[in-house]
Amino acid sequence: MATPPNPNTASFHEHHITHGFPQHDGGESDDGELVDPDSVPVEVLVEHLLAAKRALSSVNLVQRADDLSTHARQLHEESVILGAQTAFLKRGIADQLKLLSRVHRNMIHTYDASKREFKQLTPTMDAVHDKLQKTMDMLREIPVDPLFRPEGEEPKYLFDFVSEDQVHLMLADLKEGIDQLQANQTSFSTDLFHFDDNMRSLSNALSSVSTPSQKSPTDSNQQGQPSILELFMAMTDQSHYMATNLTKLTRHFDICVEAVRITEGGAALARRKDAEDLGETNPVSISGVMRAQDGDPDEPTTWTRAEVVTTVIRDARHVDSVVEDLSTVLQGVEENFNLLADQSDQVKAAYAAVVQAFRILEAIGSRLDSYIEAASAFVERWNNEKESIFATLSDMERLRDHWEGYASGYDSLILEVERRRAVEEKIQNIWRKAKEQVDRLVESDWKDRETFTTEVGGFIPGDLWVGMSGPLQKWEVVRAQPEEASASASGKGGSGEMPKQDHGSAATLDRDVVDGAMERIGMASSNKR
């Protein structure tokens, strides 16, 4: 920032010309003595007058400085208003941004939670499907023993007696649920992306807002950049300083006019020289001033004329330095104005940015309800689809349990056939042993009867032997016929005939079939534990 020269150290000494015409008793030169007016040629006085006239063209510099100061005042006032409005809007937008950020975080949390749930749900679905697939593979690997099927039928497996269609339906439902979940996620992520973009735009717009006019002078000095207020005050001081020096030049010109006027032949020479002066356009006309002062004034005393001439000679030495000083100060004014204008532009840019941020905030506000509704709808759909998927998984688990029971039931059937065969074998063994004992009793009885007949038969009359000579009552244990077995079973509430029983005899299975069933049942029991 250009600093204005101190008026107290200006090129014109204050006591030289600020009083217009000298008011003290006699003008003195720099060494304290008055100049002899007759010793100063009139041409010198006229030259000083012309120089003073040309110096008054500095009024354009002063006018320029005044215009810049006036413009700076307008910019300062505008910046103060815009800065206050910017700060107010920025605080309000920042408060709203906090609320929006909270809503935004909740939406992100909802979306991330759904992704975590889906990530956790995927292994569960895979595990249920794998278990069901293993059960199906197991049913495909267990053959149905021909003993349980009609003769001549092609080999069958347990899987041939179940319907795979329901598995396909469940998998289709599961896939549809997964697709719906992913579609819901995609739809919600789109809404979230738009919300993210809006929030990012709002944050960027708000972060670009700065108000240099609101900085304190201390902050300005620390930052090496003066504030608008400091620049405006400096320009005001500079403009006032230039106006003061212009006033001094004006008074010096008036004294020169007076010195020429009271000098013999001075007025005529001044008019002629002024007419010959073809320099730049000057707002002051010497001829006009001379005509305005034409008349027959009282002839000044010698000491009064000497004082005027002395003042002209003394101040004329400083005219050029004052003009140069005005030009230098104007450069400082222009530099300060450029800095002020730049900061004013920054204030305007900040205001435009905060207005843009406010418009973005309005746009977000108009869509906020739709974002919240989208989040609520997503949560509702997500929960519904999860329930549907879990219901399908439960159905798959129940179907797997049913098929596991089916396989276990078949193995139990094999073991039941084996058990019944073993029971029948035990019964046959018991009957065989009983028959052997009966046969021994019959043989012993036959021998006893022979002995009895030999020893006693000759002594007993035949009338007393009636019925005693007949054979022993015979006993036989025979297998019941199917009709009898059915009737017996029906009457006793039995479970029906065994498959492929031959007249009531239990079926016989290969040992490896029985061992395989026992092994599978043992493995199933271990898995349950």
Average pLDDT, the chain: 79
**156: three-class secondary structure by DSSP:** strand
Residue-wise pLDDT for 467-483, tens only, equals 676 777 777 777 776 65
476 class by beta-carbon count within 10 Å (0-12 exposed, 13-18 middle, 19+ buried): exposed
Which has more confidence, 256 or 471?
256
Query: What is the Cα–Cα distance from 333 to 189, expressed in whole angstroms?
Result: 57
Which DSSP symbol is given to 493? Answer: T
What does the angle CA 235 – CA 3 – CA 340 come to, to the nearest 5 degrees?
Answer: 40
Q: What are the backbone angles phi and psi of residue 2, rounded to the nearest 5°?
A: -70, 130
* Distance (Å, whole) CA 267 – CA 276: 14
- What whole-number distance in Å separates Cα of residue 112 and Cα of residue 89? 33
Would you state the pLDDT for residue 283?
A: 56
Residues in the chain: 529
Structure tokens given for 277:
């002066």
Q: Which two tokens stand for residue 327?
A: 């030009």
Backbone angles phi, psi at 505, to 5 degrees: -80, 140
The band of 344, judged by pLDDT with boundaries at 50, 70 and 90, is very high
Supply the pLDDT for residue 291: 53
- Determine the pLDDT at residue 51: 76
pLDDT tens per residue, range 306-315: 888 888 888 8
User: How would residue 239 be classed by pLDDT, with cut points 50, 70 and 90?
Assistant: very high
Residue 495's pLDDT band, with cuts at 50, 70 and 90, is: very low
Count of other CB atoms within 10 angstroms of residue 268: 13
pLDDT > 90? residue 109: yes
Q: What angle do CA 328, 331, 335 make, to 5 degrees?
A: 145
**CB contact at 8 A, 241 and 230:** no
Mean pLDDT of the 390-404 span: 92
Question: How high is the pLDDT of residue 379?
Answer: 92
Q: Which residue in this structure is represented by tokens 């004014």?
A: 333
Query: Tens digits of per-residue pLDDT, 127-182?
Result: 999 999 998 998 898 888 888 888 888 888 888 888 889 899 999 999 999 999 89
So where are the chain's domains? 419-456+473-528
Give me the pLDDT at residue 296, please: 45
